[in-house]
Every structure is written in C-alpha cells, then in structure tokens.
Amino acid sequence: MKIIQLTEESKNNILENLLKRSPNSYGKFEASVNEIIATVREKKDQALFSYTKQFDGADINTSNFLVTDEEIQEAYELVDEKLLEVIRKALVNIRKYHEKQIQNSWFTTEDGIILGQKVTPLGIAGVYVPGGKAVYPSSVLMNVLPAKVAGVPRIVMCTPPGKDGKVYPSTLVAAKEAGVDEIYKVGGAQAIAAMAFGTESVPKVDKIVGPGNIYVALAKKAVFGYVSIDSIAGPSEILVLADETANPRYVAADLLSQAEHDEMASAILITTSKELAQQVSKEVDSFVAVLSRKDIIQKSLDNYGYILVAETMDDAIDAVNSIASEHMEIVTKDAFHVMTKIKNAGAIFIGEYASEPLGDYFAGPNHVLPTNGTAKFFSALSVDDFIKKSSIISYSKEALEKVHKDIENFAECEQLTAHANSIRVRFEEERK
C-alpha cells in the first residue's frame, strides 16, 4: 500500500480522489436510468418482465413474478443448517439493538394548551436486495428489521432472479425470517421504478431502502421526492486509526475486509507510527497473495488504498473527521477517549477485537451506513427511517386569547393579512 506523510495537501488530494467514486459523478448512466424509469411508469409489469429477460436472462411473467410459499419452503431445504442458525442469532441481536431506538408519541398540557408529537410508522416499505454474484442475506436482515421494529405493516422486497427464474435460497430464507410480506423477482433500476410508482403487481411504497449497483443508486436518486429513500450509497470504505500499540496483522486483515468488496472500495490506515505503517504494508502484501479476490483487492488498493503517517494523534483525528468514513476502527491507547473526539463516521469500532465484519453480520447495529463523506450529515439506517412525526397543537379559547395579538402582529409584519385575519375573526365579538 502507498505510505504517505499526512499533510493538509495530501489529505485534500485523497479527499478529492475518494469523491470521484460518488454516484453523483456518474451522470453518463443517468439517461439510461431515466429511460428505464419512464418505460416502467408507462408499461408497468410488462416493462419489468421485458427488462428481466434482457438483463437477467430469466423468463418472468404474471404467473411466476411473486415468490410463492413453495419456493420459500424449497429455499429452507437448500440452505445449510449452520447458516440458518447464524441468521437467527444475528436476527435476535439486530432486533434487540433497534428496539432501543423506538420513539413514542408524547404530549404536554399547560393552561389550556396541548402540544405534542404523534409518531406513526410508514405504511409500506420497499427493500431492494442485489442478486447475481452478490448474495447478501445479512443485508436483508439489516434493511428489513428496522422497518419491522418501527411497526411498518407491509414490507415489499424486490430482487433479481437467476436465469432459472429463482431467487438465491439464502436471500429468501433471510427475508422470511425477518418478516418480509411479498417478494418480487425483479432487479435493477426497473425494480426501483416499480416500487416508486407502482405497477399492476408491485405496490407503490413510501420508502425504498437497500444497496445496489450504479443503476440502482441513480434510480433511487431519480425517484427521490416521489418516495423517500435511505441514501444514495457509494462504494464501501474502511478507515483504521492506529498507534504503535496496534497489531499490524489485525489492521491489515481489517483493511482488506472492505477492499475485497469491489474495485472502487477504499481502505485507509491513519497512524502516528512509521514502523506500524511499514509493517501493515508488508502484512497486506502477504494476505493479498493468498486471498480469493486478490485481483479486486489489488485494484482497490492501487486506486483508493492509503497509509497516512501523521505527526500527532490530533492531526490523525482531524483527518479522520475530514474523511468521514463509512466504517472506522480505533486501535490505540485510550481508544474510548479517542472515540469521544470522532465527529464523523458511519460506525465506530473500538479495540482490536471489534473487527469491522462483526458489525456487518452479527453485533446488532445497522450496517447500512453513509459513504463518500456523507457521515458528516447522515446516520446509519435505523428505526427512525421508517417512522414519521406529526406535530400536535391544541389551544383553548382562553389560551389563544392571551397571545392572539402577538400572532396577528407577526403575520402583518410578513404582509400575510389572511393569516392575521384567521386569528382576528375569533375575537371580533369581544371587540364590538
């Protein structure tokens, strides 16, 4: 891996390079995505069947579009018992974590005034799950369970079928265990359009969540406003903050855990130790030589992999906050104290035994995280993403009478005389 001295210039150059990976930088695909969306809006199910044949090589029609109970039962028979067991253990952890996020409606009353907030779950949530070579039952759990905990009554999932017209068994089993209500065999931008606008079969949803390729990301961007979305996700990222106490072999292994995702993934080590930097670089080389996805890993490291050596821990922390990585590990002395200084990160892993895959699969916190620096203003997927809040306001006549002139004056200052009149008419009798 490239070892670079951390300076303001090197930090800014790296940030500029990382931002090139954002879906917002791929405008050349938008015309194709917009055409797909327009076609689905016009031709609905027929467009979905046609695109599924074109892109996935599967013959899907009205009779086999919706995954059946028989197909789910077959999936259970095909999935290894050990995988099913770990899915169920992870599900318990994920549900418990998200149950802590539940918000309740609240009300206050004082002198004839009732104020409050009414919390209501969304009506229908749409979950997109990638297919093809990307099989992520963990992503099914992470996207579905917050919606279930929030109380969403109907959860719809779309995922592309294989050429045989079937969905990967572990995807179906994870969906069933998590509580998905309907599963449709369609992927890509066409699936996003179907959930955003509805077809004869696929219902229009209130929110679309879930990862996907650049076409899926751009489709989610295009339909935002017609429906809500979780985020426009970019390639995966990991940043490890370490000092001389860190185990270089552990650090190298953790960096590669994200570099193997795809060639656009980013893996960064920021350290105050030149010796650790050199040791990690050597360990990375030894791991890459034997890992199954070494070609992908090497391209990721060549383009978006960095080891930055900082003069001080404060300089290192400043760079961490500027990069705002999706996954961030702290392997230093006083790691919890260092954590208090981290302002921008999707998920923070503390200590040498809190390796990033722990969060991907099992611990409980959500692995759907902000990327491309958006951790500066976005959060992990949570129960909050599947609820909406309505303000409650009730005033008695006596309570309004105490403040009505203030409101009228405010409205008239903004030259909104109808606003002022709406308050004034309630007290005209008293003025006569």
What DSSP assignment string belongs to 9-73? Answer: HHHHHHHHHHHTTSGGG-GGGHHHHHHHHHHHHHHTHHHHHHHHHHHH-----TTTSBPPHHHHH
Burial of 42 (0-12, 13-18, 19+ CB in 10 A): exposed
* Cα distances (angstroms) measured from residue 8 to each of 58, 276, 278, 308, 374: 52, 21, 22, 12, 20
d(CA 345, CA 353): 19
Q: Which of 13-17, 125-129, 133-137, 178-182 has the lowest mean pLDDT?
A: 133-137
Q: Which residues are catalytic?
A: 326-327
Q: Which of 7-16, 78-87, 219-228, 335-344 has the lowest mean pLDDT?
A: 7-16
> What is the Cβ-side half-sphere exposure of residue 146, based on CA atoms within 13 angstroms?
27
* Structure confidence at residue 242 (pLDDT): 98
Q: Do domains 2-22+235-363 and 25-229 have the same CATH topology?
A: yes
Note the pLDDT tens digit of each residue in 91-127.
999 999 999 999 999 999 999 999 999 999 999 999 9
Note the pLDDT tens digit of each residue in 357-385.
999 999 999 999 999 999 999 999 999 99
Q: Which fold would CATH assign to domain 2-22+235-363?
A: Rossmann fold (3.40.50)
Q: Which of 187-191, 195-199, 256-260, 402-406 has the lowest mean pLDDT?
A: 256-260
What percent of the chain is predicted at pLDDT more than 70?
Answer: 97
CA 24 to chain centre: 16
The mean pLDDT of 318-329, rounded to a whole number, is 96
d(CA 32, CA 36): 6
Res. 66: pLDDT tops 80: yes
**Mean of pLDDT over the chain:** 94
Instruction: Return the CATH number of the domain spanning residue range 25-229.
Output: 3.40.50.1980
Note the pLDDT tens digit of each residue in 290-308.
998 999 999 999 999 999 9
* Structure confidence at residue 132 (pLDDT): 66
* Structure confidence at residue 213 (pLDDT): 87
Neighbours of 185 (CB within 10 A): 25
* Structure confidence at residue 98 (pLDDT): 98
Alpha-helical (H) ranges within 163-293 are: 169-178, 188-197, 214-223, 248-259, 274-288
- Residue spans of the domains in the chain: they are 2-22+235-363, 25-229, 396-431
The mean pLDDT of 2-11, rounded to a whole number, is 92
Q: How confident is the model at residue 431 (pLDDT cuts 50, 70, 90)?
A: low
Closest-CA residue to 209 (of 151, 137, 101, 124): 124
* Cα distances (angstroms) measured from residue 157 to each of 35, 218, 221, 400: 23, 19, 19, 48
Q: Identify whether the C-beta of residue 257 lies closer than 8 Å to the C-beta of residue 357.
A: yes
CA dihedral 162, 167, 170, 175 (to 10 degrees): 150
Closest-CA residue to 87 (of 136, 33, 30): 136
d(CA 99, CA 87): 18
d(CA 359, CA 370): 14
Name beta bridge partners: 359.
none
Burial of 255 (0-12, 13-18, 19+ CB in 10 A): buried
Q: Identify whether the C-beta of residue 297 lies closer than 8 Å to the C-beta of residue 256.
A: yes
Q: How confident is the model at residue 232 (pLDDT cuts 50, 70, 90)?
A: confident
Q: How confident is the model at residue 26 (pLDDT cuts 50, 70, 90)?
A: low
